[in-house]
C-alpha cells in the first residue's frame, strides 16, 4: 500500500470505510495528488468485498475528495470535502447504514393524532394516533452541525422504543423496530418537495431564519403486507442538502 492505514474499529460497511478513508485524507495521511491503495489492497485491509470498497470510493468521489480513472487508480484531489450534505441512497440497506453517519439528537417524544395536512402527508386515515419522535440530525458526533430536523411517526404500540432511540443515536428507528418487534421494511415511498421553514423553534434549532428555503422529505415505511408502520418528515435547509443518484441502463 502507498501508505499504511491504521485499522478501523468500525464494522466494514461502505459508510464506515468511506469515513475512515476521508479522515485519512483530511488528516494528511494521504496527500493531495497521491494515489490511494488499489481496490484489492483495500479489500484485504478492510476484510470486505470489492463491491463494498467501490461503494466507499464512490462516496469519496461525491464528496469531491478523489477522482477515479481506469488503469490509473483513485487519486486524492482535495484535502477537504465539499460543503453540504449529499446522500447517495440506492436501497433500504443503504438507508440503514446512513443512520450511523448522521447522529440523531432527540428533542421531544410525544403522542399525537394525524389530522389535516399531516394525515395527507403520512398517507394515513384522519385521526390515526402516532408516537412522534422529533430529532435533529447531526454530522459526525454529538457536537456536529445540524443538517436537518426529522419527525418520525411510529405505531403507539411501540412507545417503549423511546428509550432505545435515545440510547442508540446512530441506529435508524426502523432498524430498532425490526430488531425488537421483527417488523421489517419491504418498501419505502419517498417524496421530496420545496418548503419554507416557518416554525420558529425549528428554524432556531437549525440555525436559520424563519422563512428560510428548505427541502422537505416525506418517507413512508411499509412492511411485506404493504401496511404503513412508520413515517418520517425531514426538513433540510436548502444549502445543506442535495440528492445524488446513480442510474444504470437495464439490459
SS3 160: coil
Looking at per-residue confidence, does 5 or 218 come out higher?
A: 218
User: How many CB atoms lie under 10 A from the CB of residue 155?
Assistant: 18
For 173, phi then psi, to 5°, come to -60, -35
Give residue-wise pLDDT tens across range 183-194.
888 888 889 899
Give residue-wise pLDDT tens across range 88-125.
445 554 554 444 456 789 999 999 999 999 999 999 99
State the architecture of 102-240 in CATH terms: 3-Layer(aba) Sandwich (3.40)
Fold agreement between 14-76 and 102-240: no
- The alpha-carbon radius of gyration of the chain (Å, integer) is 20
Whole-number pLDDT of residue 19: 87
Mean pLDDT confidence for 62-66: 84
Whole-number pLDDT of residue 90: 53
Banded pLDDT at 243 (limits 50, 70, 90): low
Q: Domain locations in the chain?
A: 14-76, 102-240
Give residue-wise pLDDT tens across range 67-89.
888 888 999 998 887 655 444 44
14-76 to CATH, choices 3.40.50.1110, 1.10.10.10, 3.90.1150.10, 3.40.50.300: 1.10.10.10
- H-state helical runs in 114-242: 116-122, 161-167, 173-181, 200-206
Residue in the structure block whose three cell numbers are 467501490:
54
Banded pLDDT at 171 (limits 50, 70, 90): confident
Cβ neighbours of residue 24 closer than 8 Å, sequence gap 6 or more? 5, 6, 30
Most confident of 66-70, 157-161, 162-166, 200-204: 200-204
The secondary structure of residue 169, as a DSSP letter, is: T
Whole-number pLDDT of residue 246: 63
Cα–Cα separations (whole angstroms), residue 27 to 79, 110, 153 = 8, 42, 39
User: How many CB atoms lie under 10 A from the CB of residue 59?
Assistant: 24
Whole-number pLDDT of residue 56: 84
Whole-number pLDDT of residue 184: 85
- What does the mean pLDDT of the chain come to? 83
Amino acid at each position: 500500500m502507498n501508505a499504511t492505514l491504521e485499522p478501523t474499529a468500525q464494522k466494514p460497511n461502505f459508510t464506515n470505510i468511506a469515513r475512515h478513508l476521508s479522515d485519512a485524507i483530511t488528516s494528511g495521511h494521504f496527500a493531495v495528488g497521491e494515489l490511494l491503495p488499489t481496490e484489492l489492497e483495500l479489500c484485504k485491509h478492510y476484510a470486505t468485498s470489492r463491491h463494498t470498497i467501490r461503494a466507499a470510493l464512490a462516496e469519496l468521489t461525491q464528496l469531491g475528495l478523489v477522482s477515479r480513472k481506469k488503469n490509473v487508480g483513485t487519486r486524492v484531489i482535495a484535502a477537504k470535502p465539499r460543503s453540504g450534505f449529499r446522500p447517495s441512497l440506492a436501497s433500504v440497506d443503504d438507508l440503514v447504514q446512513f443512520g450511523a453517519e448522521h447522529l440523531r439528537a432527540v428533542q421531544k417524544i410525544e403522542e399525537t393524532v394525524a389530522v389535516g395536512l399531516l394525515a395527507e402527508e403520512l398517507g394515513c386515515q384522519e385521526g390515526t394516533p402516532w408516537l412522534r419522535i422529533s430529532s435533529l440530525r447531526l454530522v459526525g458526533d454529538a457536537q456536529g452541525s445540524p443538517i436537518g430536523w426529522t419527525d418520525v411517526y411510529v405505531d403507539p404500540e411501540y412507545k417503549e422504543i423511546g428509550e432505545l432511540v435515545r440510547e442508540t443515536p446512530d441506529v435508524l428507528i426502523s432498524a430498532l423496530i425490526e430488531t425488537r418487534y421483527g417488523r421489517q421494511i419491504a418498501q419505502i415511498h419517498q417524496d421530496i418537495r420545496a418548503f419554507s421553514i416557518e416554525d420558529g423553534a425549528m428554524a432556531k434549532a437549525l440555525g436559520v431564519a424563519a422563512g428560510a428555503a428548505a427541502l422537505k422529505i416525506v418517507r413512508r415505511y411499509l412492511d411485506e403486507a404493504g401496511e404503513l408502520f412508520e413515517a418520517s418528515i425531514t426538513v433540510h435547509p436548502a444549502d445543506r442538502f442535495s440528492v445524488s443518484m446513480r442510474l444504470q441502463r437495464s439490459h
